[in-house]
């Protein structure tokens, strides 16, 4: 069961002056704040999923996955996409231990969001959506995970900035909070009004940002990315931005540039001969100075399926490789309904 919400409310009230200053309006009453946070907490559910047996993602995520989601409509649960990526089974677990089967409705490569459609009524009041862009650095927030082992805790926004992931991923306006939560997958981030402002993605060691000192925290995908694409997700299972080139690389930034740490099996990069340890020098003529530069150049270079020119450095020598990129969505084992 979740930790008593009153303890979190108390933590919120300690930061009330910060919240009120950030919001440029009086802080809500204790009663109003408690009601809003209680409703928000009640909207968070547990999510369990099993990926199809031949899922490409099983190598890194495993087949059995567990996390959280948020009821945002009476027939819709928002979660982090990797929980339901290539899923053949999905279950929603309510706070009172009810287990409801669900249909994976959407997985969006571009944002990282996933949508589930419960196959029976949840009888849960949806959480209202807020604006991540309106959350101020230093503002006290609430993190809620769902399911039988769900928990509630206070958090602080440390930073808002673009985020580039090692797995061919980039978003604007990502939210970074502390303290870090291990049960972050699909967890909900709420503001003082009990409005949803983010969905939990991962733990990071540099929540403050580059060159700002090491501090662990969580990265949340901002809810602001959802409203513009929600109709597409419901109608087609992904947004138009998700139809983009993929070459199958995991890369990180180092002091000497962007290096490959893993090559996905049977990917365009593996077929072309890219190896772990290679430094990416250029892509389609663009100098690769950072991770976001690499991914943005890949996606902006033309059609999802095309020839990509990659210049690498290996053992002090440079090589030019030709890759045939693919549409990322076409590489996934599709669950029924996606």
* Predicted local confidence at residue 21, as pLDDT: 46
243-331 maps to CATH 2.30.42.10 = yes
The b/e string for 128-137 (b: 16+ C-beta within 10 A; e otherwise) is ebbebeebee
The predicted pLDDT at position 210 comes to 78
pLDDT tens sequence for the chain (338 residues): 555 554 555 455 445 544 444 455 666 677 777 888 899 999 999 999 999 988 888 888 999 999 999 999 988 999 999 999 999 999 999 988 899 999 999 999 999 999 999 999 999 999 999 999 999 999 999 999 998 889 999 999 999 999 999 999 999 999 999 999 999 999 999 998 999 999 999 999 999 887 777 899 999 999 999 999 999 999 999 999 999 999 999 999 999 999 999 999 999 999 999 999 999 999 999 999 999 999 999 999 899 999 999 999 999 999 999 999 999 888 887 644 44
Which residues have C-beta within 8 Å of that of residue 87, sequence separation ≥ 6?
49, 50, 51, 52, 65, 104, 335
Report the pLDDT value the prediction gives residue 213, as an integer from 0 to 100.
Answer: 73
Q: Do domains 1-237 and 243-331 have the same CATH topology?
A: no
Domain limits, the chain: 1-237, 243-331
Is CATH 2.130.10.10 the right assignment for the domain spanning 1-237? no
pLDDT of residue 34: 81
The C-alpha angle 312, 315, 319, rounded to 5 degrees, equals 30
Among the listed residues 10, 102, 72, the one whose alpha carbon sits nearest the alpha carbon of residue 199: 72
């Amino acid at each position: 069961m979740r930790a008593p919400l009153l303890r979190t409310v108390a933590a919120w009230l300690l930061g009330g002056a910060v919240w009120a200053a950030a919001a440029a309006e009086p802080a809500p009453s204790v009663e109003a704040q408690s009601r809003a946070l209680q409703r928000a907490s009640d909207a968070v559910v547990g999510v369990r999923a099993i990926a199809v047996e031949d899922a490409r993602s099983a190598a890194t995520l495993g087949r059995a996955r567990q996390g959280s989601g948020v009821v945002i409509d009476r027939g819709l649960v928002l979660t982090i996409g990797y929980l339901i990526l290539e899923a053949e089974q999905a279950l929603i677990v309510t706070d009172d231990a009810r287990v409801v089967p669900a249909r994976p409705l959407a997985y969006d490569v571009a944002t990282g969001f996933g949508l589930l459609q419960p196959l029976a009524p949840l009888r849960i009041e949806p959480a209202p959506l807020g604006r991540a862009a309106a959350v101020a650095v230093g503002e006290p927030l609430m993190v809620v995970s769902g399911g039988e082992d769900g928990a509630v805790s206070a958090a602080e926004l440390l930073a808002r900035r673009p985020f580039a992931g090692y797995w061919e991923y980039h978003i604007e306006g990502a939210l970074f909070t502390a303290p870090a939560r291990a049960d972050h997958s699909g967890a909900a981030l709420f503001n003082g009004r009990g409005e949803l402002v983010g969905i939990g993605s991962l733990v990071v060691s540099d929540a403050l940002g580059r060159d700002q000192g090491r501090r662990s925290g969580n990265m949340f995908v901002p809810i602001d990315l959802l409203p513009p694409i929600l109709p597409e997700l419901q109608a087609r299972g992904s947004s138009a931005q998700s139809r983009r080139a993929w070459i199958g690389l995991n890369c990180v930034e180092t002091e000497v540039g962007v290096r490959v740490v893993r090559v996905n099996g049977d990917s365009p990069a593996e077929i072309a001969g890219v190896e772990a340890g290679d430094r990416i020098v250029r892509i389609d003529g663009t100098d690769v100075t950072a991770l976001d530069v690499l991914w943005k150049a890949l996606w902006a270079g033309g059609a999802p399926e095309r020839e990509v020119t990659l210049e690498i450095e290996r053992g002090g020598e440079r090589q030019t490789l030709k890759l045939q990129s693919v549409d990322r969505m076409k590489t996934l084992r599709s669950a029924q309904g996606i």
